[in-house]
Amino acid sequence: MGAALKSIEPEAGHSGHLADALGDVDVSHNLNGQKLGRKGQATRERILSAAAEVIAEGSEVPISLSAVARKANLGMTSLYLYFTDLTELLLAVLRPVMEDATDGYFRELSEYWPDEELEERCRSFVQAYFDFWTKHSRVLHLRNNMADQYDERMMMARVRTAQPTIALLRKQMALPGGQPSAEAGNMASVLMTGLERAVTVATDTITPAMIERAFGPRNTNVVEPLTRLFVLAVRDCRQQAG
């Protein structure tokens, strides 16, 4: 099988960078149509840095544009020159986060996983995904909370950034050089849903405190069980394809 080992290309229409799924962002002009010079670019970056700081602080007070403006030492009028609302601002904060995903867990899917390395490759992917969530836990939880509250743009961002990963995982479930089956597509979607949910719970720093008071310590050792599930699913789909 080593001779058949090759890179797996992203789906047509996708560049291979997960941040692209968040849509194009024009940072050359502000919302009044004025071209951004060095000062304008610096102000926009200041707003993004302030938003990231507010999120990282994990305050019990929900993040808001006014909180970001205070952190950036700007008036609301100035902030509205760059972002129309909180969702637009947070989508901009998410762009470098998803670039980090491209260089992390997404890259783990870029080569076909040979059968003799399947467990090792699955473990590397799951661990990279867990590490990504641990590193960016607060902003990712915020994204999911907003999506769960039916913020349509955040829902679309969540789905679109998951789709390229699901597509490459589907290809891992096919035989070398073959096309993934419909069953592989369904399995990949379910696996990614389960992976995200398990890692979301494991990296949550707020809800578990309440659960542990009532039920005792929780298990956050999710990498090995998830690795086993991935191995079983990929192997089963490949066997069916044969």
Structural domain spans, the chain:
24-84, 87-242
Instruction: Determine the pLDDT at residue 238.
Output: 95
pLDDT, mean of each 10-residue run, the chain (242 residues) = 51 66 72 84 95 85 88 95 94 94 94 96 98 95 94 94 94 91 94 95 78 74 95 96 83
> Which residue from 150, 19, 146 is spatially nearest to 94, judged by alpha carbons?
19
Residue 164's identity, in one-letter code, is P
* CATH fold label, 24-84: Arc Repressor Mutant, subunit A (1.10.10)
User: Which tens digits make up the pLDDT trace of 177-190?
Assistant: 888 999 999 999 99
The DSSP bridge partners found for residue 111 are: 7
User: Which tens digits make up the pLDDT trace of 116-133?
Assistant: 999 999 999 999 999 999
Instruction: Determine the pLDDT at residue 61.
Output: 59
- Burial of 172 from C-beta contacts in 10 A (0-12 / 13-18 / 19+): buried
- For residues 242 and 238, give the distance between their C-alpha atoms in angstroms, rounded to a whole number: 6
Angle between helices 38-57 and 86-102 (to 10 degrees): 80
Is 87-242 a CATH 1.10.357 domain?
yes
